[in-house]
């Protein structure tokens, strides 16, 4: 499975995750997040990363103009939409898009049909947070037909990655943030390295 480590806030963590085996790194451009980072700071980081690692910007209810400007300044390859955006925004964004959905027991799966030409990410629903909740209870709510074609996020840790690997249905990719942190916005080197040892093993 491919992996994206999200909530990168500094160069040391970026290199740690890249060296451990991450396929993509995520940078949060939502000012209310404890993992918020400025586009210029991201540019200083992405300029030193391997050219083949994917750099993803995470946005919450931002305008396409703002998204495209941040993509340009920060040197990003993709945009992840984590708010209440409308599908029409896809036509105006200059890079490929990952659309995140927060899953609850009453989630309407039919709304995915309106989103064409983008990848899907399934995260946990929390009324107070758009992401980075550390909640994994939604994993069993995802239909098998959706599970295998999506990015799985929410509450993925060193402790439960084995359960995800052991499932018959496997996600296309994993998106990990708080589960590999020592504090919000700071990655834990031991947890990151152990996570990839388990994933490979």
pLDDT value of residue 113: 94
Q: One of 23, 123, 175, 188 is an active-site residue; which one?
A: 123
Would you state the pLDDT for residue 137? Answer: 52
Report the C-alpha gap between 186 and 132 in whole angstroms: 13
Is the pLDDT confidence value at 61 over 70?
yes
Q: What CA–CA distance (Å, rounded) separates 192 from 86?
A: 34
Which pLDDT value is given to residue 165?
A: 85
For this structure, is 118 an active site residue? no
Mean pLDDT of the chain: 92
Q: Which one of 6, 13, 118, 175 is the catalytic residue? A: 6
Examine the residue annotation and report whether 17 is marked as an active-site residue of this protein. no
Q: Is the Cα dihedral 16, 20, 23, 28 positive or negative? A: negative
Predicted local distance difference test score (pLDDT) of residue 19: 97
Residue 155: the pLDDT is 86
pLDDT at 164: 87
Of 13, 6, 2, 41, nearest to 188 by C-alpha is: 13
Structural domain boundaries in the chain: 2-200
> What is the Cα–Cα distance from 148 to 146, expressed in whole angstroms?
6
The mean pLDDT of 74-87, rounded to a whole number, is: 97
Whole-structure pTM value: 0.93
- What's the helix, strand, coil split of the chain in %, to 5? 35, 25, 40
Span 144-173, pLDDT tens digits: 888 888 999 988 999 999 888 888 788 999
The whole-angstrom separation of Cα 3 and Cα 122 is 14
Domain 2-200 has what CATH class?
alpha beta
């Amino acid at each position: 499975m491919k992996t994206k480590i999200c909530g990168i806030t500094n160069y040391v963590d970026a290199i740690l995750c890249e060296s451990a085996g991450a396929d993509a790194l995520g940078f949060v451009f939502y000012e209310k997040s404890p993992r918020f980072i400025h586009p210029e700071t991201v540019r200083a980081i992405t300029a030193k990363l391997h050219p083949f690692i994917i750099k993803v910007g995470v946005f919450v209810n931002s305008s396409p103009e703002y998204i495209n400007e941040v993509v340009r300044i920060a040197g990003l390859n993709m945009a992840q939409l984590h708010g209440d955006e409308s599908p029409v925004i896809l036509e105006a964004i200059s890079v490929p898009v990952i659309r995140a959905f927060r899953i609850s027991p009453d989630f309407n799966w039919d709304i995915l049909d309106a989103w064409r030409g983008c990848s899907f990410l399934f995260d946990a629903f929390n009324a107070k947070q758009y992401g980075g909740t550390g909640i994994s209870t939604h994993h069993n709510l995802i239909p098998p037909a959706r599970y295998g074609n999506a990015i799985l996020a929410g509450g993925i840790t060193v402790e439960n990655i084995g359960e995800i690997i052991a499932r018959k249905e496997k996600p296309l990719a994993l998106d990990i943030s708080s589960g590999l942190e020592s504090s919000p916005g700071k990655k834990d080197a031991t947890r990151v390295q152990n996570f990839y040892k388990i994933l490979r093993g």
